[in-house]
Structures are given as structure tokens and as C-alpha cells.
Chains A and B, each alone.
Chain A
Amino acid sequence: MKKKSLFCIILLFVFYFSIGNSWGESQEISLREDDIEHSQENLQNGMQVVMNLCTLCHDLKYVRFRDLAGIGLSSESIDKIRGESDANDSILSKMNAEQMNALFGATTPDLSLMVKARNGGAQYIYSLLLGYHERGDGVIINSLFPDIKMPDVFAYSIEKDELDRLTLEQNARDVAAFLVWTADPKADERRTLGVYVMIYLFVLTFMLYLVKKKTWARLNSNDVT
């Protein structure tokens, strides 16, 4: 019986990883592997970059200005960021879809869920932002997404100064970190609650195990066929 259970558990693991891997690998791209930090400074820096650069064209329609309190911004700083907009307004680009179409020949996707909407998540965003490089003929292309209509907004491909390049890389990581937050602002709350739930369930299950053991001890084991 023990052996059989073990066999089943192994099967389940094979199953688990076969599903997980097969979906992860469906897009074969090599992503940058640097660690993305998620401290409040990172998130706020990422937010600054997103507000200054990304929201020129992209919306974050599921995020409201007041939500930014979630990354530790005071209401004064939020007021500064939102300007004329209401605190309850979504973060929207100043441009509309037609203007974007006229400029780039594509509508810009909303960024609020972008991390969840791409295989690779935050690493994908980070790698994409820094994926631009100059081809031999002087044309700048993105190695991760050759057909992309978005220009190299960080000017990373033409930046020669080593120190400035490092800053840009840090900014790209922070943008990714901020977009992780916008995609799932309840993640911290979820994990905190999850820890309590797990502790509760482990204690409860252990007690239920004892109850089961004690109840069944009443039976005379000789009768079992």
C-alpha cells in the first residue's frame, strides 16, 4: 500500500510538472535572468518611470491614482502625481487610440495586467525594455519582439556610458516590479492571509488526524478481514 501511494504521488508530480513546463515552454525566448527586487523604493522608482514615460502612450486603466497608496505613497505625493485628475480616476494615457494608430500603426495595450498577460511575466517585461539594439545598417530592432511598434523609449540601444546603462537597467527592473504590483496589487495581502490559513489548516488537520486515530482505536483490529 505504501509503495502504491508513493507511486501515485510520483505520478502526480510528473503530471504537475508536465503541465507547468509544457505551458512555460510554449514560447521559446531567452529572457534576462537578473533578480527583480520588489522593495518599496523599487516600486516607487518604477512608478515614476511608468508615469513619466510609459503613460505617454499606455493606459493602466485598472489602476486608480488612489491605489498608489498601496506602494507606500502619501496622499500628498499622489496629489502631485495625479495633477488635474481625480484620485478615483484610472491612470490613462493622454493620447487616444486614433492618435496612437496614426503614430505607430498599432493600438497600445493596457499595461495594468501586462505581467500576467505574457509568458515570462516580469522577466519578459524587463527583457523586452532592454531588448533593443542597433543592427548593422543603423536600424534599431528589438531582439525579443522584432515586430514591435514601440520605439526604444529608454534609448538603451544608443547609450554608451556604462554607468548610465546600469541606471537604465535598474529602471527597467523597477518598471517590471511596478507592473507586477499593478497586475496583482492584492498579492501581499493574499500571501499574508495565506500564511495564517496554512498554519490554521496544519493545526486543524493534525488534530483531525488525532481524532481519527483515537476513534479508530476503539475498533478491535482482529476483526478486519
Chain B
Amino acid sequence: MSKVKKWVDQRFPLSSFIKHDLVEYPTPRNLSYWWNFGFLAGFVLILQLLTGIFLAMHYKPDALLAFDSVDHIMREVNYGWLIRYMHAVGASAFFAVIYIHMARTLYYGSYRAPRELMWWSGQALLLALMATAFMGYLLPWGQMSFWGAQVITGLFGTAPFFGDEIVIWLRGDFAVGDATLTRFFALHYLLPFLIVSIVVIHLIALHHVKSSNPSGINLSAKNNIPFHPYFTAKDLFGLGIFLIIYSYFVFFNPEFLILAENNIPANPLQTPSQIVPEWYFLPFYAILRSVPDLLGGVLAMGLSVMIFATLPFLDRSKIPGGAKYRPIYRVMFYIFVLDVIVLTYVGAQMPTEFWTLVGRIATLIYFLTFALLPFLSKYEEKKLRQKGLPEEIEELIRCEEQYGRGGKK
């Protein structure tokens, strides 16, 4: 065994990689359970890949066969119901985990220097995940699959000059049809591997800058502990909790997030009474509907997703640590989270006068949070420093002003 190890190590840095990046990898000892969600997201990604590959063995990407083949998986394939429900629930679990992961990053300001590239690779992951989920949702070929794809691809028609051409290019036809289904299937199979490669970039960046931690200060060596066994143990316990919640949905409430409409085969001649996207798209859908002009709505929706990337620029505060030490930022964080929940709710409602109004106010608050951040964060820093910060934190800020954040002390 040791001979094999030696042979490999002479040719590939296997042992040193395991030692350096898995076992001894220094991790801040004060990480809370909110830091579990990156690992959970990686776990769900692998779960989705595995279940997806087995589903693809039985699924038929053909407008005439797709709906029946999903039912074939549910009834005839051995444990097909389990694999399909794991995949369907897994998609929602993926977004739940990712949204919590993002909320943690927001709360603790982990997107700030020197972790901007982590945040931006995370933004790329979010986009890839959304695209994958959107295309995956077409595959069961139910009513909502079809009409959801019809509406969302139709949004590209608002693009100036080439709108109609883009829509046809995306659909492969004048309307969503067999051509759309086959290309969505191909891309739904491809994109997860793209996600895996961005995850690798995300992790390489992580292991370079190391984890942020609730205090926001780079900890001294004695407060970093090896990843194994401390965080392997902590992550696995978190995984157990996750699996309990996940399994509840898979085994006891698998259709909770599947709309009744989507158990009706796609029918291009009959529009459902209300077209609703999956829950994880509802806040963005609500923003889309809140803007009176369609092109404006599309732009607002795109911006609402992409705007996260600007946070490292918008947050100008040098106060280290999370919202715990930043009273104004903390209030903004909670308002933002509540606002997103309101938008999610509004996104699922019929666009009556009342709900449109609520949606518009929530949309305004959504963008105002970002727009006000540069000023409020600077103001907050000034106030806090006037009130007097502990000397070590003042020194840390001075250090950073001199050498740049994350620089040598």
C-alpha cells in the first residue's frame, strides 16, 4: 500500500493534497452552523447528478413520449419513483441550501475583500443553477412545464432589433415544442458538469483565501483548527439534519412543490388559468410583473439576479465582521430577507390591483437596499468609529488601509 502511495506521490501530489486541503486545512474554529451550507450545496449537487443520470436512462426527450416516460419511471422502473422524487425534491433543496448560503454570506459580509472572486464565482454558479433548473422543469412536459418555458423564452422577444429571432433560436421553433424539449434536455445534462467545474474554481479560491468567520477578523494561528476531524464531524452532523428534512419531503410529501397543473400533459392549445414558476423563481417573477413595461420588467428581473455581484463595490464599510457589529447593515439585511419573502408570496398571487401594489413596493425596497448601501455603509462606519472601536479593530482597519484587505500584518 505504501509502495503504491509512494509511486503515485512521485507523479501526482495526492498525499500532500489530502493532507493540505482535506485534513490539515486550517479552518476558523468559531464557524457556526451557518457555514455548513456550502458543504450541503456540494452534497445536493452530487445527489442531483447521480439521480439525474439514472433518470436519463429511462426518460425520453420527445414531445410525444416525455410525459408518459416520466410516468413509466414512476410506475414501472424499479425504485423509479424514489429516484424521480429525490431529483424533484433535490432541485428545491438545492435552491433552499443555496439561498441560505447566500444569506449567510450577506449577513457576515463574507463577499468583501479578499473574497470577491468567491462571491463572483458563486454568482456564476447561481446563474448556471437557475438555467439548469429552468430547463429541467420543461422535461416532465406537463402544462406548467410547457407554459413556463413558453413565457420565459418569450421574454427574450423584448430584446431590441433581434427579439423574435432570439426567441426562435432559443426554442428551435416558433413555439415551444419538440425541438425545445430536446435541446433543453441536452443542456440540462450538460450544465451540471459546467457547475462542477465552477465549483472547483470556487473551492480553489476558498482554499486560497480561507473561510470567513463570524468575527470577520483573520484569526491567529491558534484559533484555526484542522478541518479534519472537527469540521468533518460538524458537517456530517449538519448533513444528518438536512437529510431528515429532505427525506420527509421525498417520502411523505413529494408532491408538495409540484403544481397540480403539471400532472396534466402539455397542451399548446390550452393556457392554464395562472402561469406560476417554481417557488425559487417567484421573487424574480414578482419583480418582472411589478414593472409596468415588459422590457423594463425583463431588465429589472435580470438586474435583480445580477445585482448581487456588485455588493463588493457597494459595501464600503471597513468595519470587519458581520452584521452583528454593524447595526444599520443588520437592519438592512433583515428588511431585505423579509422583502424577498414578500416578493415570493406576491409572485404566486394573481396580479390583482392589491398584489401588484405590494409587489411594486417590495420591488422598490429590493433595489433601494442595494442603492442605499454605499451611503449607509460609509455613514455607519463613520458613526461607529466616532463612537470608538476597540483599539485592535482600529489597528486592523489602519493596517488594511495601508496594505489592502487580507494583506500581511
Contacts and interface: CB of A to CB of B under 8 A. Distances in A.
Given A20-B256, A22-B345, A23-B259, A208 B233 contact: yes
A23 B276 contact: yes
Contact of A194 (B30, B250, B276): B250
Nearest to B85: A190
A18 B344 contact: yes
B163 to A, nearest CB: 31
Interface in B191-220: 215, 217, 219-220
Contacts of B217: 225
A194 B244 contact: no
A15 interface: yes
A6 interface: no
B348 A117 contact: no
B29 interface: yes
Interface in A16-67: 18-20, 22-23, 26-27, 62, 67
B20 interface: no
Nearest to A192: B251
Contact of B244 (A11, A112, A205, A225): A205
Q: Label chain A's interface by main secondary structure.
A: helix
Interface in B29-86: 29-30, 32, 68, 71, 74-75, 81-82, 85
Given A26-B350, A215-B230, A223-B222, A208 B237 contact: yes
Interface of A: 1, 11, 14-15, 18-20, 22-23, 26-27, 62, 67, 109, 112-113, 116-119, 121, 183, 185-186, 190-191, 193-195, 197-198, 201-202, 204-205, 208-209, 211-212, 215-216, 219, 223-225
Contacts of B32: 1
B260 A117 contact: yes
Nearest to B30: A224
B241 interface: yes
Contacts of B243: 201, 205
A198 B276 contact: no
Contacts of A202: 244
Given A26-B274, A208-B236, A215-B230, A116 B263 contact: yes
A215 B233 CA distance: 7
Contact of A22 (B71, B225, B257, B348): B348
A45 B350 CA distance: 40
Given A194-B252, A211-B233, A212-B233, A117 B264 contact: yes
Contacts of B75: 62, 67, 185-186
A19 B223 contact: no
Interface of B: 29-30, 32, 68, 71, 74-75, 81-82, 85, 215, 217, 219-220, 222-223, 225, 229-230, 233-234, 236-237, 239-241, 243-244, 247-248, 250-252, 254-261, 263-264, 273-274, 276, 279, 282, 337-338, 341, 344-345, 348-350
B215 A225 contact: yes
B249 to A, nearest CB: 10
A22 B247 CA distance: 24
A190 B82 contact: yes
A31 to B, nearest CB: 13
A22 B219 CA distance: 46
Given A185-B75, A190-B82, A211 B252 contact: no
Contacts of A14: 341
Nearest to A63: B75
B237 A224 contact: no
Contacts of B338: 11
A163 to B, nearest CB: 35
Contacts of A20: 256
B260 A62 contact: no
Nearest to B259: A23
Contacts of A190: 81-82, 85, 251, 254
A198 B247 contact: yes
Nearest to A24: B260
A93 to B, nearest CB: 17
A204 B29 contact: no
B191 to A, nearest CB: 25
Contacts of B234: 212, 216
A177 to B, nearest CB: 17
Given A113-B71, A191-B251, A216 B233 contact: yes
Contacts of A109: 264
Given A190-B85, A191-B251, A208-B237, 15 more contacts: A14-B341, A18-B341, A62-B68, A109-B264, A116-B255, A185-B75, A186-B81, A190-B81, A194-B251, A197-B247, A201-B243, A201-B244, A216-B234, A224-B223, A225-B219
A219 B260 contact: no
B295 to A, nearest CB: 28
A217 B233 CA distance: 12
Nearest to B247: A197
B74 A201 contact: no
B218 to A, nearest CB: 11
A27 B196 CA distance: 41
A36 to B, nearest CB: 17
A18 B358 CA distance: 15
3 interchain residue pairs of minimum CB distance: A194-B251, A205-B240, A117-B263
Contacts of B230: 215-216, 219
Nearest to B350: A26
A155 to B, nearest CB: 28
A190 B84 CA distance: 12
A193 B233 contact: no
B307 to A, nearest CB: 22
